[in-house]
Every structure is written in structure tokens, then in C-alpha cells.
Amino acid sequence: MLGLATVALILLVLLFTDTVIHVIRQRRIVFKETTAIVLTVYPVLGLCSYLGLLFQKANIFLDAAAQLYFALCMYQFLTLTLKYFGGESRFVTKMSGAVLPWKSPPCCCWPCCVCPKATVNKQQIRLIRILVMQHPWVQLVLSIIMVTLWLEGWYSHMDMTPYNAYLYVNVVSVISFFFGLWGFIVGFKASLQQLQEFFYTPKILSFQLCLVFLRLQALIVNAILVPTGAIPCLPPISPRVFANMILNALLLGQLVVLMVVARYYYKLPTPEMVSLTHHDNTYGGGDEDEMTTTQFADEGDAMVMNGKMEKC
């Protein structure tokens, strides 16, 4: 298993390096740095998984590091989305008259009065940024608290008893994660129709699947399979250790597949930025197309000419 994991990690690094070199050479300077940071999510999570296979006792710290780094990359992906539009102002202009899809999971069941109903404006864009950005900061603080409590013997990984700090740290982490995920989903759902020329759908899917494999997979294994005895005990390896080995090996293989997909779509040619000549009111705006600046200019010229003819 360790040999295959080493090959997978080397492959991840090679694919990442090839993709980043292409991005640096071919993309506009405004996209280069953010795109490179987003792409690091695959080798960094792969490295955490590889180290988790080598050092079983370090899994608690490696898992926290992986979740923290993914939270940072979520914010960078949101920043890249806004850069595809050309910034917040162009995003607001493009989405003028539309309402952002605030009734999106994981907070879609909230009362309607909680969700903003105003049309797109810069305040809502900043609210999305705050929702996404709070998660890595909260995760960082929780990681410091977790290490401190673990050293004092008050924290045990995956121990859900009320006398263990893991339960309370995890509750705060999940609440923060849901708020961050909510802002992230609102941002990308509003951009799906507008950024098809940037192959936005496969890019966001390959990124989001990292989240599914990182959190949901671990939740299923540690909260369901291990307690029910589905994971066997292979002395001297305990079921918990064996589960961590399975999770780390699975994640490494999945990351290689996702990196291949991401490499393909990030290397495809894209426009310099999204065009503002057409407006799509997908999320609640009117049905009429927005008039372009050229159309307004043409109508203005026609009015001037008519005025001159009337004076004659």
C-alpha cells in the first residue's frame, strides 16, 4: 500500500507542476496567482494523506491541517470566480436586476425572512466573502484549542461523549463550515450560467468533490462503520487505525483522478474575462436582455441627428 501511495503522491506533484507551468505561461497575470493557489489543494491534501499513512499518531493534526487548508482554498476559489468577472463591480453589472440564490443548501431550510431578497449589490458580495472567509479563521482557532486540550488529555479524536472536548469543538467547526459552505455555494450557483466559457462547472465539481471525499467519507467511516464493527480488528492494528489507513489511501487515489480532471479543464483556452454584452436573469431578474453600451450609444447618436434635422 505504501508503494502505491508514494506513486500516487509523485503523480499528483507532477500533474500539479505541469498545470501550474501552463497557467503561468498562458493565462492573464490577474488569474495566475489565484489559480495556482486553488490547484495546490490537490497535492497538499495528498501530502496530508500520505503522511497519515506513514505516521498514524499524527492523523489528528494532519486532518486538522487538511481541513484548514481546504477552507483557505475555498476563499481563493471564490476570489478566482470574481476575477473571471473582472472584479466585484463587473459582477454586479453582469448580474444587475438578479437576486442571488440565498435559499441554497446547506441553509435552504431557513425561514425566508433570514435570506436577503434585494438584487445583487456589493454589500451582498462582501457578505459572501465574509461567510467564506470566517471558516478558515475559526478552523485555525479551533486547531490551536484542539492541540492544547489534547496535550492536557481532554481531547480524544472521534470520542463523542459529553465529557470529551471533541464533541464541542466539532459542533463549532461544523456550524462554521456550514456558513462558509453556504456562502461558497451561493457564489458559484450565481456564476454557473455566466462562466460557461471558463469551463466553470467541471472546475467547481472537481474542487467540491475534494470536500466530499475529505469530510463525508471520514464521517461515514468513523461515525458508522467503526462503531458498528464493519471495520475489522487486525492485531496489532486497531479498527480506528485501520479505518484511517483506508481513508488516507482512498483519498490519495481520488485526488489523483480529480487532479487529472482539473488539469484538463484548467489547460483549455478561455477568454480574458466574462463579456458584459448579454445579461442572463437566471436568479429572479426580468426576461428582457440588457441593452449594451453600444446600443445606448447608437440610440444617442440617432437622437442628436434627429434634433439637428428638426432645427433645420
Encode pLDDT of 155-188 as tens digits: 876 666 788 888 888 889 889 988 888 888 888 7
- Read off the pTM: 0.78
Torsion region of 229: left, alpha or beta (phi above 0 gives left; psi -120 to 50 gives alpha) = left
Q: What is the 3-state secondary structure (H, E, C) of 120-151?
A: CCHHHHHHHHHHHHHHHHHHHHHHHHHHHHHH
Identify the pLDDT of residue 255.
94
User: Coil, strand, or helix at residue 278?
Assistant: coil
**Distance of CA 288 to CAs 133, 245, 280, 291, Å?**
35, 56, 9, 9
Instruction: Give pLDDT < 50 ranges for the chain.
Output: 112-113, 278-312
Take residue 73 and report the three cell numbers written for it: 482554498
